Chains A and B, each alone.
Chain A
Protein backbone atom coordinates (compact mmCIF):
# COMPACT_ATOMS: atom_id res chain seq x y z
CA UNK A 1 0.00 0.00 0.00
CA UNK A 2 2.81 2.41 -0.70
CA UNK A 3 2.35 3.94 -4.15
CA UNK A 4 6.04 4.77 -4.53
CA UNK A 5 6.05 5.63 -8.20
CA UNK A 6 2.60 7.23 -8.41
CA UNK A 7 2.21 10.97 -8.36
CA UNK A 8 -0.90 12.38 -6.65
CA UNK A 9 -2.65 13.29 -9.91
CA UNK A 10 -1.99 9.83 -11.30
CA UNK A 11 -3.57 8.35 -8.21
CA UNK A 12 -6.67 10.49 -8.66
CA UNK A 13 -6.88 9.32 -12.25
CA UNK A 14 -6.82 5.68 -11.23
CA UNK A 15 -9.37 6.24 -8.50
CA UNK A 16 -11.82 8.02 -10.79
CA UNK A 17 -11.32 5.37 -13.45
CA UNK A 18 -12.11 2.67 -10.93
CA UNK A 19 -15.23 4.54 -9.86
CA UNK A 20 -16.44 4.80 -13.45
CA UNK A 21 -15.81 1.10 -13.99
CA UNK A 22 -17.70 0.42 -10.77
CA UNK A 23 -20.70 2.40 -11.98
CA UNK A 24 -20.66 0.61 -15.35
CA UNK A 25 -20.47 -2.78 -13.64
CA UNK A 26 -23.32 -1.76 -11.37
CA UNK A 27 -25.55 -0.80 -14.30
CA UNK A 28 -24.69 -4.04 -16.06
CA UNK A 29 -25.44 -6.06 -12.95
CA UNK A 30 -28.73 -4.22 -12.53
CA UNK A 31 -29.84 -5.02 -16.07
CA UNK A 32 -28.78 -8.65 -15.80
CA UNK A 33 -30.48 -9.07 -12.44
CA UNK A 34 -33.77 -7.52 -13.54
CA UNK A 35 -33.97 -9.56 -16.72
CA UNK A 36 -32.99 -12.78 -14.98
CA UNK A 37 -35.70 -12.30 -12.35
CA UNK A 38 -38.21 -11.40 -15.06
CA UNK A 39 -37.47 -14.33 -17.33
CA UNK A 40 -40.00 -16.92 -16.02
CA UNK A 41 -42.88 -14.51 -16.60
CA UNK A 42 -41.82 -13.81 -20.19
CA UNK A 43 -40.94 -17.44 -20.87
CA UNK A 44 -44.35 -18.61 -19.75
CA UNK A 45 -46.43 -16.04 -21.62
CA UNK A 46 -44.31 -15.54 -24.73
CA UNK A 47 -45.44 -12.62 -26.84
CA UNK A 48 -48.85 -12.92 -25.20
CA UNK A 49 -47.30 -11.00 -22.32
CA UNK A 50 -47.67 -7.84 -24.40
CA UNK A 51 -51.08 -8.79 -25.78
CA UNK A 52 -54.55 -8.27 -24.46
CA UNK A 53 -56.82 -10.84 -22.87
CA UNK A 54 -58.61 -10.81 -19.57
CA UNK A 55 -58.28 -8.33 -16.77
CA UNK A 56 -54.68 -7.86 -15.62
CA UNK A 57 -55.86 -7.09 -12.09
CA UNK A 58 -57.52 -10.49 -11.86
CA UNK A 59 -54.41 -12.11 -13.29
CA UNK A 60 -52.22 -10.34 -10.75
CA UNK A 61 -54.47 -11.59 -8.00
CA UNK A 62 -54.26 -15.18 -9.23
CA UNK A 63 -50.49 -15.02 -9.59
CA UNK A 64 -50.16 -13.62 -6.11
CA UNK A 65 -52.44 -16.10 -4.37
CA UNK A 66 -50.88 -19.07 -6.13
CA UNK A 67 -47.58 -18.16 -4.50
CA UNK A 68 -49.04 -17.46 -1.11
CA UNK A 69 -51.11 -20.62 -0.91
CA UNK A 70 -48.03 -22.64 -1.95
CA UNK A 71 -49.82 -23.94 -5.04
CA UNK A 72 -48.22 -24.44 -8.44
CA UNK A 73 -47.10 -21.03 -9.63
CA UNK A 74 -49.46 -19.28 -12.05
CA UNK A 75 -47.86 -16.90 -14.53
CA UNK A 76 -50.67 -15.95 -16.94
CA UNK A 77 -50.34 -12.26 -17.53
CA UNK A 78 -51.41 -10.08 -20.44
CA UNK A 79 -50.24 -6.56 -19.88
CA UNK A 80 -51.72 -4.75 -22.88
CA UNK A 81 -54.04 -2.37 -20.95
CA UNK A 82 -51.14 -1.32 -18.74
CA UNK A 83 -48.72 -0.86 -21.64
CA UNK A 84 -51.35 1.03 -23.66
CA UNK A 85 -52.04 3.28 -20.68
CA UNK A 86 -48.33 4.02 -20.23
CA UNK A 87 -47.92 4.74 -23.92
CA UNK A 88 -50.94 7.05 -24.12
CA UNK A 89 -50.10 9.07 -21.05
CA UNK A 90 -46.45 9.48 -22.01
CA UNK A 91 -46.94 10.32 -25.67
CA UNK A 92 -49.82 12.75 -25.23
CA UNK A 93 -48.10 14.53 -22.35
CA UNK A 94 -44.79 14.77 -24.21
CA UNK A 95 -46.44 16.17 -27.36
CA UNK A 96 -48.45 18.77 -25.42
CA UNK A 97 -45.48 19.71 -23.35
CA UNK A 98 -43.13 19.92 -26.35
CA UNK A 99 -45.33 22.40 -28.19
CA UNK A 100 -45.89 24.52 -25.10
CA UNK A 101 -42.24 24.41 -24.04
CA UNK A 102 -40.98 25.37 -27.48
CA UNK A 103 -43.10 28.51 -27.57
CA UNK A 104 -42.28 29.39 -23.99
CA UNK A 105 -38.55 29.04 -24.51
CA UNK A 106 -38.57 31.00 -27.77
CA UNK A 107 -40.44 33.73 -25.92
CA UNK A 108 -38.06 33.66 -22.98
CA UNK A 109 -34.89 33.76 -25.07
CA UNK A 110 -35.86 36.11 -27.86
CA UNK A 111 -38.97 38.14 -27.18
CA UNK A 112 -39.41 38.62 -23.45
CA UNK A 113 -38.40 41.94 -21.87
CA UNK A 114 -35.45 41.65 -19.55
CA UNK A 115 -37.43 41.84 -16.27
CA UNK A 116 -39.84 39.08 -17.31
CA UNK A 117 -36.93 36.90 -18.29
CA UNK A 118 -35.21 37.45 -14.97
CA UNK A 119 -38.43 36.49 -13.20
CA UNK A 120 -39.36 33.53 -15.41
CA UNK A 121 -36.13 31.59 -15.44
CA UNK A 122 -35.77 30.93 -11.72
CA UNK A 123 -39.49 30.16 -11.50
CA UNK A 124 -39.22 27.58 -14.28
CA UNK A 125 -36.19 25.99 -12.69
CA UNK A 126 -38.01 25.83 -9.38
CA UNK A 127 -41.04 24.25 -11.04
CA UNK A 128 -38.83 21.58 -12.57
CA UNK A 129 -37.76 20.45 -9.12
CA UNK A 130 -41.15 20.29 -7.40
CA UNK A 131 -41.62 16.74 -6.03
CA UNK A 132 -44.25 14.87 -8.00
CA UNK A 133 -46.26 13.89 -4.96
CA UNK A 134 -47.19 17.56 -4.52
CA UNK A 135 -48.59 17.59 -8.04
CA UNK A 136 -50.40 14.37 -7.15
CA UNK A 137 -52.03 15.96 -4.13
CA UNK A 138 -53.16 18.98 -6.13
CA UNK A 139 -54.55 16.58 -8.71
CA UNK A 140 -56.50 14.52 -6.20
CA UNK A 141 -57.88 17.52 -4.35
CA UNK A 142 -58.56 19.94 -7.23
CA UNK A 143 -58.29 18.60 -10.77
CA UNK A 144 -59.90 15.18 -10.28
CA UNK A 145 -63.05 16.49 -8.51
CA UNK A 146 -63.27 19.26 -11.12
CA UNK A 147 -63.19 16.76 -14.00
CA UNK A 148 -65.61 14.50 -12.17
CA UNK A 149 -68.15 17.21 -11.40
CA UNK A 150 -67.89 19.61 -14.34
CA UNK A 151 -66.46 17.82 -17.35
CA UNK A 152 -68.19 14.46 -17.19
CA UNK A 153 -71.97 14.48 -17.43
CA UNK A 154 -74.37 11.91 -16.02
CA UNK A 155 -75.19 10.89 -19.57
CA UNK A 156 -71.52 10.07 -20.15
CA UNK A 157 -71.37 8.04 -16.99
CA UNK A 158 -74.53 6.20 -17.97
CA UNK A 159 -73.15 5.16 -21.34
CA UNK A 160 -70.17 3.24 -19.94
CA UNK A 161 -71.45 2.43 -16.44
CA UNK A 162 -71.12 -1.32 -16.85
CA UNK A 163 -67.52 -1.17 -17.99
CA UNK A 164 -65.80 1.64 -16.14
CA UNK A 165 -66.76 4.30 -13.69
CA UNK A 166 -66.05 7.86 -14.82
CA UNK A 167 -65.23 9.56 -11.57
CA UNK A 168 -62.64 12.11 -12.64
CA UNK A 169 -59.70 9.79 -11.97
CA UNK A 170 -58.66 9.61 -15.58
CA UNK A 171 -56.20 9.65 -18.42
CA UNK A 172 -56.95 13.36 -18.81
CA UNK A 173 -56.01 14.19 -15.22
CA UNK A 174 -52.79 12.19 -15.57
CA UNK A 175 -51.84 13.78 -18.89
CA UNK A 176 -52.54 17.35 -17.77
CA UNK A 177 -50.54 17.11 -14.58
CA UNK A 178 -47.73 15.20 -16.25
CA UNK A 179 -47.53 17.90 -18.93
CA UNK A 180 -47.22 20.50 -16.20
CA UNK A 181 -44.51 18.43 -14.55
CA UNK A 182 -42.28 17.76 -17.53
CA UNK A 183 -42.67 21.10 -19.33
CA UNK A 184 -40.34 23.04 -16.99
CA UNK A 185 -37.67 20.40 -17.55
CA UNK A 186 -38.03 20.81 -21.31
CA UNK A 187 -38.08 24.60 -21.10
CA UNK A 188 -34.89 24.63 -19.03
CA UNK A 189 -32.98 22.55 -21.59
CA UNK A 190 -34.54 24.31 -24.62
CA UNK A 191 -33.64 27.75 -23.25
CA UNK A 192 -30.01 26.77 -22.77
CA UNK A 193 -29.92 25.36 -26.30
CA UNK A 194 -31.53 28.41 -27.91
CA UNK A 195 -29.26 30.77 -26.02
CA UNK A 196 -26.13 29.05 -27.30
CA UNK A 197 -27.05 29.80 -30.93
CA UNK A 198 -24.26 32.10 -32.16
CA UNK A 199 -25.44 35.70 -32.11
CA UNK A 200 -23.83 36.37 -35.49
CA UNK A 201 -26.00 33.84 -37.31
CA UNK A 202 -29.16 35.53 -36.08
CA UNK A 203 -27.82 39.02 -36.74
CA UNK A 204 -26.84 38.03 -40.25
CA UNK A 205 -30.37 36.98 -40.98
CA UNK A 206 -31.82 40.09 -39.38
CA UNK A 207 -29.37 42.20 -41.38
CA UNK A 208 -30.82 40.75 -44.58
CA UNK A 209 -34.18 42.22 -43.59
CA UNK A 210 -35.87 39.05 -42.42
CA UNK A 211 -38.20 39.64 -39.48
CA UNK A 212 -37.45 38.50 -35.95
CA UNK A 213 -40.04 35.75 -35.80
CA UNK A 214 -38.95 34.14 -39.03
CA UNK A 215 -35.27 34.55 -38.20
CA UNK A 216 -35.64 32.92 -34.87
CA UNK A 217 -37.79 30.11 -36.17
CA UNK A 218 -35.61 29.31 -39.19
CA UNK A 219 -32.17 29.91 -37.70
CA UNK A 220 -32.45 29.75 -33.90
CA UNK A 221 -34.79 26.82 -33.44
CA UNK A 222 -33.26 24.93 -36.34
CA UNK A 223 -29.76 25.26 -34.95
CA UNK A 224 -30.86 24.30 -31.48
CA UNK A 225 -32.46 21.04 -32.61
CA UNK A 226 -30.03 18.77 -30.73
CA UNK A 227 -30.98 20.59 -27.54
CA UNK A 228 -34.66 20.10 -28.36
CA UNK A 229 -34.07 16.38 -28.76
CA UNK A 230 -32.06 16.21 -25.55
CA UNK A 231 -34.76 18.03 -23.59
CA UNK A 232 -37.49 15.83 -25.06
CA UNK A 233 -35.62 12.64 -24.24
CA UNK A 234 -35.03 13.83 -20.69
CA UNK A 235 -38.68 14.78 -20.25
CA UNK A 236 -39.93 11.53 -21.80
CA UNK A 237 -37.74 9.54 -19.45
CA UNK A 238 -39.27 11.37 -16.53
CA UNK A 239 -42.76 10.81 -17.93
CA UNK A 240 -42.27 7.05 -18.39
CA UNK A 241 -40.86 6.67 -14.93
CA UNK A 242 -43.35 8.90 -13.16
CA UNK A 243 -44.99 6.87 -10.43
CA UNK A 244 -46.56 8.53 -7.45
CA UNK A 245 -48.55 11.26 -9.17
CA UNK A 246 -49.95 8.90 -11.80
CA UNK A 247 -50.84 6.29 -9.20
CA UNK A 248 -52.81 8.97 -7.41
CA UNK A 249 -54.83 10.47 -10.25
CA UNK A 250 -55.27 7.96 -13.09
CA UNK A 251 -57.88 5.76 -11.46
CA UNK A 252 -55.86 2.66 -10.73
CA UNK A 253 -57.79 0.28 -12.95
CA UNK A 254 -55.90 -1.81 -15.48
CA UNK A 255 -58.26 -0.66 -18.22
CA UNK A 256 -57.30 0.21 -21.78
CA UNK A 257 -59.06 3.49 -22.71
CA UNK A 258 -60.94 2.82 -25.90
CA UNK A 259 -60.54 5.38 -28.73
CA UNK A 260 -63.89 4.18 -30.11
CA UNK A 261 -65.61 5.92 -27.21
CA UNK A 262 -64.90 9.30 -28.82
CA UNK A 263 -64.02 12.15 -26.51
CA UNK A 264 -65.00 10.06 -23.50
CA UNK A 265 -61.77 8.24 -24.15
CA UNK A 266 -59.85 10.99 -22.36
CA UNK A 267 -61.79 10.74 -19.13
CA UNK A 268 -61.57 6.96 -18.85
CA UNK A 269 -59.34 5.58 -16.10
CA UNK A 270 -56.17 3.63 -16.73
CA UNK A 271 -52.96 2.71 -14.95
CA UNK A 272 -49.41 2.95 -16.27
CA UNK A 273 -46.60 0.43 -15.73
CA UNK A 274 -44.64 2.27 -13.07
CA UNK A 275 -47.76 2.82 -10.96
CA UNK A 276 -48.65 -0.85 -11.30
CA UNK A 277 -45.24 -1.82 -9.98
CA UNK A 278 -45.66 0.55 -7.05
CA UNK A 279 -49.03 -0.88 -6.16
CA UNK A 280 -48.08 -4.51 -6.47
CA UNK A 281 -44.73 -4.12 -4.77
CA UNK A 282 -46.02 -5.43 -1.47
CA UNK A 283 -46.75 -8.76 -3.14
CA UNK A 284 -43.03 -9.39 -3.64
CA UNK A 285 -43.29 -12.19 -1.08
CA UNK A 286 -45.00 -14.43 -3.61
CA UNK A 287 -42.34 -15.79 -6.01
CA UNK A 288 -44.41 -15.84 -9.24
CA UNK A 289 -45.65 -12.32 -8.45
CA UNK A 290 -42.09 -11.17 -7.90
CA UNK A 291 -41.15 -12.43 -11.35
CA UNK A 292 -44.15 -10.69 -12.90
CA UNK A 293 -43.24 -7.44 -11.18
CA UNK A 294 -39.67 -7.76 -12.42
CA UNK A 295 -41.03 -8.40 -15.91
CA UNK A 296 -42.84 -5.07 -15.78
CA UNK A 297 -39.67 -3.44 -14.44
CA UNK A 298 -37.72 -4.98 -17.31
CA UNK A 299 -40.10 -3.41 -19.82
CA UNK A 300 -39.62 -0.02 -18.20
CA UNK A 301 -35.86 -0.44 -18.17
CA UNK A 302 -35.89 -1.52 -21.79
CA UNK A 303 -38.02 1.49 -22.84
CA UNK A 304 -35.67 3.83 -21.03
CA UNK A 305 -32.65 2.31 -22.80
CA UNK A 306 -34.35 2.47 -26.18
CA UNK A 307 -35.28 6.07 -25.50
CA UNK A 308 -31.66 7.05 -24.87
CA UNK A 309 -30.49 5.24 -27.97
CA UNK A 310 -33.23 6.77 -30.13
CA UNK A 311 -32.41 10.23 -28.81
CA UNK A 312 -28.76 9.71 -29.66
CA UNK A 313 -29.58 8.41 -33.14
CA UNK A 314 -31.92 11.30 -33.94
CA UNK A 315 -29.29 13.82 -32.88
CA UNK A 316 -26.56 12.50 -35.19
CA UNK A 317 -27.60 14.07 -38.52
CA UNK A 318 -28.46 17.36 -36.77
CA UNK A 319 -25.03 17.80 -35.31
CA UNK A 320 -23.47 19.22 -38.43
CA UNK A 321 -24.98 22.67 -38.20
CA UNK A 322 -26.37 22.42 -34.72
CA UNK A 323 -25.10 23.64 -31.39
CA UNK A 324 -23.75 21.08 -29.01
CA UNK A 325 -25.81 20.24 -25.96
Chain B
Protein backbone atom coordinates (compact mmCIF):
# COMPACT_ATOMS: atom_id res chain seq x y z
CA UNK B 1 0.00 0.00 0.00
CA UNK B 2 2.78 2.40 0.89
CA UNK B 3 4.29 2.25 -2.58
CA UNK B 4 0.91 2.89 -4.16
CA UNK B 5 0.35 5.95 -2.01
CA UNK B 6 3.82 7.18 -2.75
CA UNK B 7 3.17 6.92 -6.43
CA UNK B 8 -0.11 8.71 -6.02
CA UNK B 9 1.54 11.53 -4.11
CA UNK B 10 4.03 12.04 -6.86
CA UNK B 11 1.35 11.82 -9.47
CA UNK B 12 -0.80 14.43 -7.77
CA UNK B 13 1.83 17.05 -8.40
CA UNK B 14 1.89 16.30 -12.11
CA UNK B 15 -1.70 15.81 -13.26
CA UNK B 16 -4.83 13.75 -12.93
CA UNK B 17 -4.09 11.97 -16.19
CA UNK B 18 -0.70 11.01 -14.88
CA UNK B 19 -2.26 9.50 -11.78
CA UNK B 20 -4.65 7.48 -13.86
CA UNK B 21 -1.82 6.14 -16.02
CA UNK B 22 0.12 5.09 -12.91
CA UNK B 23 -2.95 3.42 -11.46
CA UNK B 24 -3.69 1.58 -14.68
CA UNK B 25 -0.11 0.41 -14.95
CA UNK B 26 -0.22 -0.89 -11.37
CA UNK B 27 -3.50 -2.66 -11.94
CA UNK B 28 -2.51 -4.24 -15.24
CA UNK B 29 0.89 -5.53 -14.26
CA UNK B 30 0.88 -6.95 -10.76
CA UNK B 31 3.75 -9.24 -11.68
CA UNK B 32 5.95 -6.29 -12.46
CA UNK B 33 5.43 -4.75 -9.03
CA UNK B 34 7.71 -5.18 -6.04
CA UNK B 35 9.11 -8.71 -6.06
CA UNK B 36 8.31 -9.36 -2.40
CA UNK B 37 4.61 -8.67 -2.95
CA UNK B 38 2.57 -11.71 -3.96
CA UNK B 39 -0.77 -11.50 -5.72
CA UNK B 40 -3.03 -14.41 -4.89
CA UNK B 41 -6.67 -15.40 -4.98
CA UNK B 42 -8.90 -18.36 -4.26
CA UNK B 43 -10.64 -20.08 -1.37
CA UNK B 44 -12.28 -17.89 1.25
CA UNK B 45 -12.06 -20.67 3.85
CA UNK B 46 -8.26 -20.38 3.75
CA UNK B 47 -8.15 -16.64 4.49
CA UNK B 48 -7.76 -16.88 8.29
CA UNK B 49 -4.87 -19.35 7.90
CA UNK B 50 -3.21 -17.28 5.20
CA UNK B 51 -3.38 -14.12 7.29
CA UNK B 52 -1.56 -15.63 10.23
CA UNK B 53 0.95 -17.34 7.91
CA UNK B 54 1.71 -14.04 6.17
CA UNK B 55 2.41 -12.44 9.52
CA UNK B 56 4.69 -15.33 10.49
CA UNK B 57 6.63 -15.25 7.22
CA UNK B 58 7.48 -11.59 7.77
CA UNK B 59 10.05 -12.83 10.29
CA UNK B 60 11.80 -14.71 7.49
CA UNK B 61 11.38 -12.06 4.83
CA UNK B 62 10.48 -8.66 6.30
CA UNK B 63 9.55 -7.22 2.90
CA UNK B 64 7.06 -10.00 2.22
CA UNK B 65 3.47 -8.95 1.51
CA UNK B 66 0.41 -10.73 0.13
CA UNK B 67 -2.49 -9.17 -1.72
CA UNK B 68 -5.18 -11.85 -1.63
CA UNK B 69 -8.62 -11.79 -3.21
CA UNK B 70 -11.00 -14.33 -1.68
CA UNK B 71 -13.00 -15.09 -4.82
CA UNK B 72 -13.25 -18.80 -3.99
CA UNK B 73 -11.18 -21.75 -5.10
CA UNK B 74 -12.35 -22.28 -8.66
CA UNK B 75 -12.02 -18.65 -9.61
CA UNK B 76 -8.58 -18.58 -8.00
CA UNK B 77 -7.35 -21.48 -10.12
CA UNK B 78 -8.64 -19.69 -13.22
CA UNK B 79 -6.78 -16.53 -12.18
CA UNK B 80 -3.52 -18.47 -12.02
CA UNK B 81 -4.21 -19.98 -15.44
CA UNK B 82 -4.81 -16.51 -16.86
CA UNK B 83 -1.71 -15.13 -15.17
CA UNK B 84 -3.77 -12.73 -13.06
CA UNK B 85 -2.60 -14.30 -9.81
CA UNK B 86 0.79 -15.71 -8.86
CA UNK B 87 -0.74 -18.35 -6.63
CA UNK B 88 -4.14 -19.59 -5.55
CA UNK B 89 -5.40 -21.47 -2.53
CA UNK B 90 -7.81 -24.29 -3.07
CA UNK B 91 -9.63 -26.82 -0.91
CA UNK B 92 -10.29 -29.48 -3.53
CA UNK B 93 -7.94 -31.78 -5.45
CA UNK B 94 -7.16 -30.89 -9.09
CA UNK B 95 -9.81 -31.32 -11.82
CA UNK B 96 -9.37 -31.83 -15.58
CA UNK B 97 -10.06 -28.12 -16.16
CA UNK B 98 -6.94 -27.25 -14.15
CA UNK B 99 -4.52 -27.65 -17.05
CA UNK B 100 -1.20 -25.88 -16.73
CA UNK B 101 -1.38 -25.73 -12.96
CA UNK B 102 0.57 -27.54 -10.30
CA UNK B 103 -1.20 -28.42 -7.07
CA UNK B 104 0.65 -29.13 -3.85
CA UNK B 105 -0.69 -30.01 -0.43
CA UNK B 106 -0.04 -27.50 2.35
CA UNK B 107 -1.72 -28.74 5.51
CA UNK B 108 -4.77 -30.62 6.72
CA UNK B 109 -8.19 -29.38 7.56
CA UNK B 110 -11.19 -31.25 8.89
CA UNK B 111 -14.93 -31.01 8.39
CA UNK B 112 -16.91 -31.70 11.57
CA UNK B 113 -20.47 -32.89 11.86
CA UNK B 114 -22.00 -31.06 14.80
CA UNK B 115 -25.26 -31.16 16.73
CA UNK B 116 -26.92 -29.09 19.42
CA UNK B 117 -25.28 -29.67 22.84
CA UNK B 118 -28.69 -30.76 24.18
CA UNK B 119 -28.63 -33.80 21.90
CA UNK B 120 -27.49 -36.99 23.61
CA UNK B 121 -26.01 -38.55 20.47
CA UNK B 122 -22.20 -38.60 20.54
CA UNK B 123 -21.25 -40.29 17.33
CA UNK B 124 -22.67 -41.40 14.01
CA UNK B 125 -21.45 -43.58 11.20
CA UNK B 126 -20.83 -42.06 7.77
CA UNK B 127 -23.79 -44.11 6.53
CA UNK B 128 -26.09 -42.54 9.14
CA UNK B 129 -24.96 -39.03 8.19
CA UNK B 130 -25.54 -39.91 4.55
CA UNK B 131 -29.06 -41.16 5.34
CA UNK B 132 -29.82 -37.92 7.17
CA UNK B 133 -28.56 -35.69 4.36
CA UNK B 134 -30.27 -37.68 1.64
CA UNK B 135 -33.56 -37.49 3.52
CA UNK B 136 -34.00 -41.22 4.12
CA UNK B 137 -33.81 -40.82 7.91
CA UNK B 138 -35.81 -37.89 9.25
CA UNK B 139 -36.25 -38.84 12.91
CA UNK B 140 -33.59 -38.55 15.59
CA UNK B 141 -34.85 -41.83 17.03
CA UNK B 142 -33.72 -43.44 13.77
CA UNK B 143 -30.07 -42.80 14.65
CA UNK B 144 -30.27 -43.56 18.36
CA UNK B 145 -30.93 -40.14 19.86
CA UNK B 146 -33.62 -39.30 22.39
CA UNK B 147 -34.52 -35.96 20.78
CA UNK B 148 -38.26 -36.09 20.15
CA UNK B 149 -38.57 -33.89 17.07
CA UNK B 150 -37.64 -34.60 13.46
CA UNK B 151 -34.08 -33.84 12.36
CA UNK B 152 -33.38 -30.30 11.17
CA UNK B 153 -30.41 -30.73 8.86
CA UNK B 154 -28.31 -27.72 7.88
CA UNK B 155 -25.78 -27.60 5.10
CA UNK B 156 -24.22 -25.38 2.50
CA UNK B 157 -25.03 -24.44 -1.08
CA UNK B 158 -23.74 -26.53 -3.91
CA UNK B 159 -21.20 -23.79 -4.62
CA UNK B 160 -19.34 -24.03 -1.33
CA UNK B 161 -16.05 -25.90 -1.20
CA UNK B 162 -17.22 -27.60 1.99
CA UNK B 163 -20.32 -28.84 0.17
CA UNK B 164 -18.28 -30.38 -2.64
CA UNK B 165 -16.08 -32.08 -0.10
CA UNK B 166 -19.03 -33.31 1.98
CA UNK B 167 -20.77 -34.52 -1.15
CA UNK B 168 -17.88 -36.65 -2.33
CA UNK B 169 -16.79 -37.88 1.10
CA UNK B 170 -20.20 -38.62 2.63
CA UNK B 171 -22.97 -38.57 0.05
CA UNK B 172 -21.11 -40.57 -2.57
CA UNK B 173 -21.65 -37.85 -5.16
CA UNK B 174 -25.41 -37.52 -4.65
CA UNK B 175 -27.07 -34.12 -4.13
CA UNK B 176 -28.19 -33.33 -0.62
CA UNK B 177 -31.96 -33.62 -0.17
CA UNK B 178 -34.36 -30.68 -0.34
CA UNK B 179 -35.03 -31.11 3.37
CA UNK B 180 -31.56 -29.81 4.15
CA UNK B 181 -31.61 -26.09 4.83
CA UNK B 182 -28.72 -24.63 2.82
CA UNK B 183 -26.98 -21.63 4.35
CA UNK B 184 -24.48 -19.17 2.96
CA UNK B 185 -21.55 -19.33 5.34
CA UNK B 186 -19.86 -21.77 7.65
CA UNK B 187 -20.59 -19.66 10.72
CA UNK B 188 -24.29 -19.47 9.86
CA UNK B 189 -24.52 -23.25 9.98
CA UNK B 190 -22.95 -23.24 13.44
CA UNK B 191 -25.40 -20.57 14.65
CA UNK B 192 -28.37 -22.45 13.20
CA UNK B 193 -27.38 -25.71 14.94
CA UNK B 194 -26.75 -23.85 18.18
CA UNK B 195 -30.26 -22.37 18.07
CA UNK B 196 -32.08 -25.55 17.09
CA UNK B 197 -32.34 -28.43 19.54
CA UNK B 198 -32.97 -30.90 16.71
CA UNK B 199 -30.28 -29.42 14.47
CA UNK B 200 -27.34 -31.10 12.78
CA UNK B 201 -24.85 -29.49 10.43
CA UNK B 202 -21.43 -29.86 8.83
CA UNK B 203 -19.07 -27.14 10.00
CA UNK B 204 -15.36 -26.43 9.54
CA UNK B 205 -12.91 -26.90 12.41
CA UNK B 206 -12.62 -23.21 13.21
CA UNK B 207 -16.36 -22.66 13.64
CA UNK B 208 -17.06 -25.77 15.73
CA UNK B 209 -14.50 -25.25 18.48
CA UNK B 210 -15.77 -26.89 21.68
CA UNK B 211 -16.90 -24.39 24.28
CA UNK B 212 -17.05 -21.20 22.26
CA UNK B 213 -19.11 -22.26 19.24
CA UNK B 214 -22.11 -23.62 21.16
CA UNK B 215 -22.29 -26.80 19.07
CA UNK B 216 -21.20 -30.36 19.83
CA UNK B 217 -18.84 -32.16 17.43
CA UNK B 218 -19.77 -35.77 16.70
CA UNK B 219 -17.49 -38.74 16.33
CA UNK B 220 -17.70 -40.17 12.83
CA UNK B 221 -17.15 -43.90 12.48
CA UNK B 222 -15.82 -43.71 16.04
CA UNK B 223 -13.18 -41.08 15.23
CA UNK B 224 -13.35 -37.69 16.97
CA UNK B 225 -13.19 -34.52 14.88
CA UNK B 226 -9.95 -33.18 16.30
CA UNK B 227 -6.34 -32.64 15.31
CA UNK B 228 -5.03 -36.00 16.55
CA UNK B 229 -7.38 -38.04 14.35
CA UNK B 230 -7.17 -35.69 11.37
CA UNK B 231 -3.36 -35.74 11.30
CA UNK B 232 -3.35 -39.52 10.90
CA UNK B 233 -6.15 -39.29 8.30
CA UNK B 234 -8.19 -41.70 10.45
CA UNK B 235 -10.99 -39.17 10.76
CA UNK B 236 -13.08 -39.74 7.63
CA UNK B 237 -13.63 -36.07 6.75
CA UNK B 238 -10.01 -34.95 6.70
CA UNK B 239 -8.86 -32.98 3.70
CA UNK B 240 -5.86 -31.07 2.45
CA UNK B 241 -5.53 -27.40 1.76
CA UNK B 242 -3.75 -26.91 -1.58
CA UNK B 243 -1.61 -24.21 -3.07
CA UNK B 244 -1.98 -23.77 -6.81
CA UNK B 245 0.96 -22.47 -8.83
CA UNK B 246 1.53 -22.23 -12.56
CA UNK B 247 3.25 -25.41 -13.77
CA UNK B 248 5.73 -23.38 -15.81
CA UNK B 249 7.88 -20.66 -14.26
CA UNK B 250 6.18 -20.17 -10.92
CA UNK B 251 7.05 -17.01 -9.04
CA UNK B 252 10.09 -17.66 -6.81
CA UNK B 253 8.78 -15.78 -3.80
CA UNK B 254 5.57 -17.82 -4.04
CA UNK B 255 7.37 -21.18 -4.17
CA UNK B 256 9.58 -20.19 -1.27
CA UNK B 257 6.60 -19.14 0.77
CA UNK B 258 4.70 -22.34 -0.06
CA UNK B 259 7.70 -24.46 0.94
CA UNK B 260 8.01 -22.57 4.18
CA UNK B 261 4.31 -23.14 4.93
CA UNK B 262 4.60 -26.84 4.08
CA UNK B 263 7.74 -27.73 5.93
CA UNK B 264 8.95 -25.27 8.54
CA UNK B 265 8.43 -25.77 12.24
CA UNK B 266 7.38 -22.14 12.73
CA UNK B 267 4.63 -22.41 10.11
CA UNK B 268 3.43 -25.64 11.71
CA UNK B 269 2.92 -23.84 14.98
CA UNK B 270 1.03 -21.03 13.26
CA UNK B 271 -1.22 -23.46 11.39
CA UNK B 272 -1.96 -25.30 14.60
CA UNK B 273 -2.84 -22.07 16.39
CA UNK B 274 -5.07 -20.91 13.54
CA UNK B 275 -7.19 -24.05 13.81
CA UNK B 276 -5.95 -26.31 11.01
CA UNK B 277 -3.64 -29.32 11.28
CA UNK B 278 -0.02 -29.22 10.10
CA UNK B 279 0.77 -32.24 7.91
CA UNK B 280 4.36 -32.07 6.65
CA UNK B 281 5.91 -29.50 8.98
CA UNK B 282 9.01 -30.32 10.99
CA UNK B 283 8.05 -31.65 14.42
CA UNK B 284 11.01 -30.06 16.20
CA UNK B 285 12.38 -26.55 15.99
CA UNK B 286 15.50 -26.39 13.81
CA UNK B 287 18.68 -25.47 15.65
CA UNK B 288 19.33 -22.38 13.57
CA UNK B 289 15.85 -21.60 12.34
CA UNK B 290 16.76 -18.73 9.97
CA UNK B 291 19.37 -20.57 7.93
CA UNK B 292 17.36 -23.72 7.62
CA UNK B 293 14.32 -21.83 6.42
CA UNK B 294 16.34 -20.06 3.78
CA UNK B 295 17.66 -23.34 2.39
CA UNK B 296 14.18 -24.66 1.97
Contact = CB atoms under 8 A, between A and B. Distances in A.
Interface string B71-113: 1101101100000000000000001110000000000000000
Contact of B181 (A60, A269, A285): A269
A58 interface: yes
Contacts of B128: none
Nearest to A148: B196
B157 A163 contact: no
Contacts of B191: 140-141
Interface in B115-166: 135, 138-139, 148-154, 157-159
Given A64-B158, A148-B195, 18 more contacts: A55-B175, A58-B175, A67-B97, A70-B97, A140-B192, A144-B192, A149-B196, A158-B150, A160-B179, A162-B135, A165-B150, A165-B153, A166-B152, A248-B184, A253-B178, A279-B159, A280-B157, A280-B159
A60 B163 CA distance: 14
Contacts of A148: 152, 195-196
With a 10 A CB-CB cut-off, give which of A61, A69, A70, A255 has the most chain B CB atoms. Answer: A61
B158 A165 contact: no
Contact of B150 (A55, A140, A161, A251): A161
Contact of B183 (A60, A252, A254, A285): A252
Interface string A118-155: 00000000000000000000001100110011000010
B187 to A, nearest CB: 10
A282 B74 contact: yes
B279 to A, nearest CB: 26
B176 to A, nearest CB: 8
Interface string B169-203: 00000010011111110001001100111110000
16 contacts: A57-B158, A145-B195, A148-B152, A148-B195, A149-B196, A154-B148, A163-B179, A165-B150, A165-B152, A165-B153, A167-B154, A168-B196, A253-B180, A269-B181, A278-B184, A283-B159
Nearest to B99: A70
A248 B152 CA distance: 17
A269 B139 CA distance: 19
A283 B95 CA distance: 14
Contacts of A154: 148-150
Given A55-B175, A64-B158, A279 B184 contact: yes
